Chains A and B, each alone.
Chain A
Amino acid sequence: MDPERWKKIKLLCQSALEIEREKREAYLEEACSGDESLRKEVETLLAHQTEAEGFMKDPAIEIAAQKLAKDQANLLSRGLIGRSIRHYRIIERIGEGGMGEVFLAEDTSLHRKVALKFLAPDMQQDPVAHKRFIGEARSAAALNHPYICHINEVGESDGRDFIVMEYVDGQTLKDRLEAGRIPLKEALQIAIEIAEALEAAHGNGIIHRDVKPANIMLTNAGHPKVMDFGLAKRLIPPGGIETQDATFTTLTRDGSTVGTLAYMSPEQLRGEPVDLRSDVFSFGIVLYEMLAGVHPFKKYTGAETIGAILNAAPKPLGELSPDVSGILQYIVQKMLAKDPHDRYASIHDVRFDLKRLQEGSDQPPLEKHKRLKPLFWAAVAALVLIAAGIMGFFRFFPREAAMPRAKIVPATTSGGEKNSPSLSHDGTWVAFQWNGEKQDNFDIYVKEVDGPGLNRLTFDPAVDAFPAWSPDDRQIAFVRASGDLCTLYLTSPLGGGERKVAEVGIGQLSWSPDGKTMAYVDRKSPKDPWSIWSLSLGTLENRQMTVPDRSYDGDMYPAFSPDGRYLAFARRHEAARSALYVMSLPDGAPKLVTDCESPTQSCWTADSRELVFHTYGRTGEVALWRVSVGGGEPRRVPARGELVSQATVCRNRLAYINTTDITDIWRLELTGQAAMKPPSKPLVSWSSWDLNPRISPDGRRIVFASTSSGSLEIWVCNADGRKPLKLTDMKAGSAGRPSWSPDGKWIAFDSDKSGNSDVYAVSAEGGPVRQLTIDPAKEVAPRWSGDGRWIYYGSNRSGSYQIWRMPSDGGKPTQITREGGLTAIESADGQLVYFHGYYSFQRKGIWRVPAAGGPETLVLDKEIFTYHWDLTKQGIYFIDQSAKPVATISFHDFATRLAGSLAPVHSDPGFKLEDGLSVSPDGKWLLYSGGVCASDIMMIDNFR
């Protein structure tokens, strides 16, 4: 076909698709202007439109997978359908579960429908599993309750065992939940009925062990029928999944078991013996899911889900479902307690509390009613995954590329910044640098890896860093940095008795395996490059070990190999590029090992054959790697965490630092007793990122962006942080930079959902989201005009970012600035537009231009970030990042034309600011966002 014609047909087709069907014919009539064959071509294509909706909806791999799965199933079913087994005539296959297939059959003697479940072949072969299965089925057959799926009999045919069960016409709770959550009243009733069923079984000494939505049918009348009591496959060997690498990997890889794992209690996952409280936990998950519509612990991979069940607190129900009362939230929370002792002791008690709640009783539940606060668990669980939408670029090397072959246990979980972990030679303690609970001073600490022991070793106000253990683990060396001077000290791991040894250059110590030498970094003069030196601990003589070329920055991060034969170090070429080298002792020539992604700190594996290091690569990739010193390509070390670094190895333990990035919303009082005091606690701390707050025009509510649902979305809540309401669901498209309409009814925001950032609007009470800008350029940071008739925003549609303005319901925009601008706020009287000069034009600071057009003038010449300012009648509030020691909230007064600082943003200089500054309409308080990075020591056992 001639390419021109192709283009024409295609364009017509695409345009026609965007027009309503009724108007299409008229459109084509006009557009084809008489060319009948052209029109016919287009219409033939359009005829497939309905069919096209379902076409290629599922990706090819799913199709291939479905075929394979069907093949496998066909082989079995083919044998059975149509046949009779005793007096049961098999009609069709109705499902398959972890234990075997289920068929619909007719009981020809009683003329009723039954379900026949055949035991899966692998269970059949295993004599232990098989015997237990039959035993359980027999005792379950004794259960007789309206909400329990009855077992009629257990039989055997052709070497295959089967169970004959009551056939339930309806759908599973799992299918029902796929449509979303269940309304409170209904969910409560179903839950009470499920509780009755479980209570009846427990009363007969039968623990279900596999309570999950797939095992609960809902009859057409809406009543539950619990199935498969006590029949659950014993998947977890004693000792738990974590002790056996292969089991762990297989269990979470094998899709059929993942579904079951997601509902297991912590003790089940650990392979411990279970009692009926395990059913309480699993039931709690089901109840949570019924009320919230989401699973409390499920993550993207099985391994992460397990980690969440064992360690993470689920999001409070009240945040996901506003009609869940504090009492109900408490009941579910108690069912989901990790320790069985903290849970309800029996289903009877659960049912009792649920029933009273249903009856509207005012009395508190069996224990004291606790008011739940949204808790934020910073890096507690070993397996936390940030929403892929935010960290999208990390998927260059997908996190699930290689399942971790080792167990990961967080060794420390308190706030503050931790660095330089160092494992003792017997692997039982880890020394590290930490700025403590109050985050005021960096000191050396040691912590017992598998126990509660934590000792603080230094108390000096100077910075203490780089702890290193002596070969006999009796001493710890570290450096104390005071001004430009660094001194080497030795102290005892038990605390006390520190003594000075010598002056060294900069820290980064390594103790030789024979205990006699300490490697450190120093330089002859400020003009010389850094190099590795060795200090004899006996004679205090020092000797230069490496001699980098003068053009280099220098050599740093020395590390002796465990066998004492080599020294590894990083050689830095220029600021960002470095490589790892190894030299044989005492003075061999350094050999390049790798320069992959500029490694710096490295440590040796126990066999002295490989180095482990971390990278912050070109693509933003943050990971741990291992490389053979003989050369070769580095391999990734699977290590969970957001920002992993600073690995240390001892035998088969690997410890490293994981840094998490948290952003919260903070409130500063501008008047009253607490005026200008930087807040000690955030106002909103729901998730990893809560930012860009804006106070409503009546000062009663706030809108902001939060990742609490897993992706960055817009939320509103009351000014005290209560009554949250999620307004958007842009998912991978993200939603940000919300702002209020002057009447407080609408929220405008930007989102990347269409592929290029656009402005959207949504009602502040919730509702459908309207897209206001539709063009291929990027539109960001919308702000309403004072009279609500216009929306200002930044757009690059002219080729560079400028301020534009459009009618507030979308429509033709007008360009406002010429020389660069991104965020704009109109003055209250509508006369002036203040805006932030987009920094790529060297326009830091706030400018203004008359709303009707005119010259652009500089108002505030300060280094201000794009989203760190707000406008009031009296002046401009802004965050001054040039202030020391920490950024301040400052104010520029229009009357005096002077700017002054009001308060520091936080008492911790480590506080990182995020976007957003919003002043209340009465001028009495303001909001901003930011957070302190927290870091934790992570541990991998079984590292080989």
Chain B
Amino acid sequence: MTVHSPQEVTQLLQAWCRGEQSALDRLMPLIDAELHRLAHIYMVRERPGHTLQTSALVNEAFLRLIDARQVQWQDRAHFFAISANVMRRVLVEFARSRQSKRRGGDPVKLEFDEGLVSPAERGSDLVALDDALSALAEIDPREAKVVELRFFGGLSVKETAEVLKVSGRTVMREWDHAKLWLLKELQRG
């Protein structure tokens, strides 16, 4: 297995963010491996300070994948915003790839994915959620950003407020409304 240097990964990530799909193909095995590692840690270890751990984990994954100094960070808020965005793309790609594997007919995966229609698990269909979120971004970009930062980036209310330069209360209000709208949208689809 070829080992990619952080610089290579950064370039691939940047290429992908610019729209080059081929970059993603080369990246996926790496990201997949990283996700597996994170998944294992996340699932099995105790989580004393829940939210804190999540964004630390996301940032950790992000930093491990890229060479943080190659990219020009304007400030901390910028960094968090970008990492949440990348993590969103990565996770959604991951979910999408598993879905397509389904078409290949692996009986195990099919068995598991069938449980997705119940309301409680609606939040676990990342692909559908991503589509709905993109639709939301067309109407209310800031609200969609709140969701991206909190749900994909794992940021707390306070951190999200810092990134968007609004009050914590505004974040909560956006979050509450976004959830309702997304649920409505998902039910429709």
A residues lining the B interface (CB < 8 Å): 1, 3, 6, 10, 13-14, 17, 44-46, 48-49, 51-52, 54-71, 74-75, 78, 253-256, 258-259, 262, 298, 300, 302, 388, 393, 395-398, 400-401, 619, 633, 731-733, 752, 754-756, 776
Q: Is there contact, CB below 8 Å, between B42 and A65?
A: yes
30 contacts between A and B (CB under 8 A): A6-B139, A45-B184, A48-B179, A55-B122, A55-B123, A59-B51, A59-B54, A59-B150, A62-B54, A63-B124, A65-B39, A66-B43, A66-B124, A67-B95, A67-B112, A68-B35, A69-B40, A69-B43, A69-B44, A71-B109, A74-B112, A255-B40, A255-B42, A256-B40, A300-B48, A395-B59, A396-B76, A397-B63, A397-B68, A755-B161
Nearest to A3 among chain B residues (CB) is B139
Name the one of B44, B79, B143 contacting A256, with C-beta atoms under 8 angstroms: B44
Q: How close is B129's CB to chain A, nearest CB, in angstroms? A: 8
**Quick one: which of B24-67 are within 8 Å of A by CB?**
35-46, 48-49, 51-54, 56-61, 63-64
A63 in contact with B123 (CB, 8 Å): yes
- 17 further interface pairs, Cβ-Cβ under 8 Å (given A55-B179, A400-B56, A755-B157): A14-B176, A45-B180, A48-B180, A52-B179, A55-B183, A59-B151, A60-B126, A65-B38, A67-B98, A69-B44, A74-B111, A253-B41, A256-B40, A258-B44, A258-B45, A398-B59, A401-B59
Bound Cα distance A70, B143 (Å):
32
Q: Which residues of A contact B151 (CB under 8 A)?
A: 56, 59-60
B189 to chain A, nearest CB (A): 14
A302 CA to B45 CA, complexed, in Å: 10
A573 to chain B, nearest CB (A): 22
Contact of A44 with B184 in the complex, beta carbons under 8 Å? yes
State whether B41 touches A398 (Cβ < 8 A).
no
6 A-B pairs closest in CB distance? A755-B168, A255-B44, A65-B39, A255-B45, A68-B39, A59-B154
* Cross-interface CB contact of A395 among B56, B161, B173, B184, cutoff 8 Å: B56
Binding site for A on B (CB under 8 A): 35-46, 48-49, 51-54, 56-61, 63-64, 68-69, 76, 79, 87-88, 91, 94-95, 98, 108-109, 111-112, 119-120, 122-124, 126, 129, 139-140, 143, 147, 150-154, 156-158, 161, 167-171, 173, 176-177, 179-184, 187
How many whole Å from B123's CB to the nearest CB in chain A? Answer: 5
CB of B80, distance to nearest CB on chain A (Å): 9
A756 to B98, CA, bound (A): 42
CB of A259 within 8 A of CB of B169, answer no
A70 to B44, CA, bound (A): 12
Beta-carbon contact of A52 and B176 below 8 Å: yes
Question: Which residues from A are CB-within-8-Å of B49?
Answer: 300, 388, 731
- Determine if B69 and A74 form an interchain contact, defined as CB atoms under 8 angstroms apart: no
A-side contacts of B169, CB under 8 Å: 754-756, 776
Question: Which of A45, A300, A756 sits near B181, CB closer than 8 Å?
Answer: A45
The answer to whether B183 touches A51, judged by C-beta atoms less than 8 angstroms apart, is yes
Q: How far is the CA of A140 from the CA of B98 in the complex (A)?
A: 44
CB of B108 within 8 A of CB of A74, answer: yes
Contact A1–B139 (Cβ < 8 Å): yes
> Complex Cα distance A401/B170, Å?
31
Contact of B183 among A3, A52, A259, A754 (CB under 8 A): A52
Answer whether A13 and B79 are a contact pair too, CB < 8 Å, given A61-B87, A63-B123, A732-B52: no
| Chain B residues within 8 Å of A46, by CB | 180
Query: In the docked arrangement, what's the CA distance between A59 and B41, Å?
Result: 15
Check B46 against A56 for contact (C-beta < 8 Å).
Answer: no
Using Cβ atoms and an 8 Å threshold, which residues of chain B touch A49? Answer: 180
B167 and A755 within 8 A (CB): yes
